[in-house]
Amino acid sequence: MADVFNWQLQRKMKYQYEESRPQKQIAWVFDTNKCIDCQTCTIACKQTWTWSTGQEYMLWNNVETKPYGFFPMGWDVKLLELMGGAKWDTAGQLTSETIFEQAPAGERAKGFLFDSEHWAHPNIGEDEPVGVAEKGTYVDKLPHKMWFSYLARICNHCTYPGCLAACPREAIYKRPEDGIVLVDQERCRGYQECATACPYKKVMYNPEDRVSQKCIACYPKIEQGEQPQCVVSCIGRIRMAGYISPPGVIDPKNPIDYMVKVKKVAVPLYPQAGTEPNVYYIPPVHADREYLRQMFGPGVDGAIDAYQKTKTDADLLGLFMLFGSTERIIRQFAVQGETAIGYDEKGTELVRVPVREPNIVRDYFDRVHDSYLHNIT
């Protein structure tokens, strides 16, 4: 095992291979507060990539309701049981062990493999809140006593993928040009060590072809400078895909860097596993904080504070308005007055949107359509 630096843990850790970061690392920010669980992303992915025999049960993108929803069933409860609770010191450094450091003798990571029953209930727990609603319950402060929240999930295209580390065939590789993690379908022999090691359970076995398969980050689109299907189809405009700078480098004009490193409004999912996942979440402001700290690590409180200041932060507000505004990958952004602008890698303007949407009050009765209209203020 090599010593590698994991910036999310603020320390070095053991990993199967030497540190070798790609020239560019694809990354995402998902705003959980805006997700409406419409599953449009799930279906967009399903129709694009997993419609073949042997892939029936696969959802490379899924949206689950926390705390009682999971796909596969109970995946993160099992992970936490296996790893034990995460421990962080006051400086934000992980003091507990990652899946690699907890690996049993002779294995490369600590993990578990689910059977088909666990994959058979993708909507379990959907919209089920935790806590009891008594008659007349009125929620007037944060976090809510009774809550649920939606967690959209794809492969994290980790910097230190558990799947890649565990495969004895070396059938999984991380592309140097963009950091996308792929399973080589020719080399794979279906050992499923990858599925065992992935802490997020984002590798899925195809019993028809006898190989493992997973989210490919819509790489044919990424190669054309376009965002993946799940991102561009998102009704709630909760997603943005881009590139994150390596540790120690911050480009404040880069949207992903700005959210993750400058404003620190987006945090990784279960960073304690040690894979350095590259999907970052803006945590739900209304959910239980202890729960969120276990799920997103010690940056959660700061992220929620930063998010709640968005109304008075024109740059962040403008950047959020650029979510879902273009199919192209936004490499740089700027906010000029009341306009947010996105640029491509050459500095060519891709899109401009108003920072604040105009507020239009409609007539109560619409004579053209002979109908009554409601205004939400």
Residue selected from 191, 262, 289, 313 as contacting ligand F3S according to rule CB under 6 A: 191
On whether the CB atoms of residues 149 and 288 are closer than 8 A, the answer is no
Residue 238: name its binding partner from ligand F3S, ligand SF4, none (Cβ under 5 to 8 Å by kind). Answer: none
**Beta partners for residue 66, in sequence order:** 149
Residue 214 sits in the site that holds ligand SF4 (CB under 6 A): yes
Residue 171 sits in the site that holds ligand F3S (CB under 6 A): yes
Length of the chain: 377
Question: What is the smallest separation between the CB atom of 157 and ligand F3S, expressed in angstroms?
Answer: 15
Distance (Å, rounded) from C-alpha 342 to C-alpha 324? 11
Nearer CB in complex with ligand SF4: 62/332? 62
Q: Which of 73, 102, 70, 71 is nearest to 85 (CA)?
A: 102
Question: What is the smallest separation between the CB atom of 175 and ligand F3S, expressed in angstroms?
Answer: 16
Residue selected from 157, 221, 263, 331 as contacting ligand SF4 according to rule CB under 6 A: 157
Question: What is the smallest separation between the CB atom of 198 and ligand F3S, expressed in angstroms?
Answer: 9
Residue 59 sits in the site that holds ligand SF4 (CB under 6 A): no
**Beta partners for residue 211, in sequence order:** 206
Residue 109 sits in the site that holds ligand SF4 (CB under 6 A): no
Residue 169: name its binding partner from ligand F3S, ligand SF4, none (Cβ under 5 to 8 Å by kind). Answer: ligand F3S
On whether the CB atoms of residues 365 and 352 are closer than 8 A, the answer is no
Query: Residues near 26 by Cβ (< 8 Å), separated by ≥ 6?
Result: 157, 178, 179, 180, 217, 222, 241, 242, 243, 278
On whether the CB atoms of residues 227 and 328 are closer than 8 A, the answer is yes
Residue selected from 72, 111, 122, 162 as contacting ligand SF4 according to rule CB under 6 A: 162
**Beta partners for residue 239, in sequence order:** 30
| Contact residues for ligand F3S, defined by CB under 6 A | 167, 169, 171-172, 183, 188-194, 211-212
| Contact residues for ligand SF4, defined by CB under 6 A | 155-158, 161-163, 181, 198, 200, 202-203, 214, 275
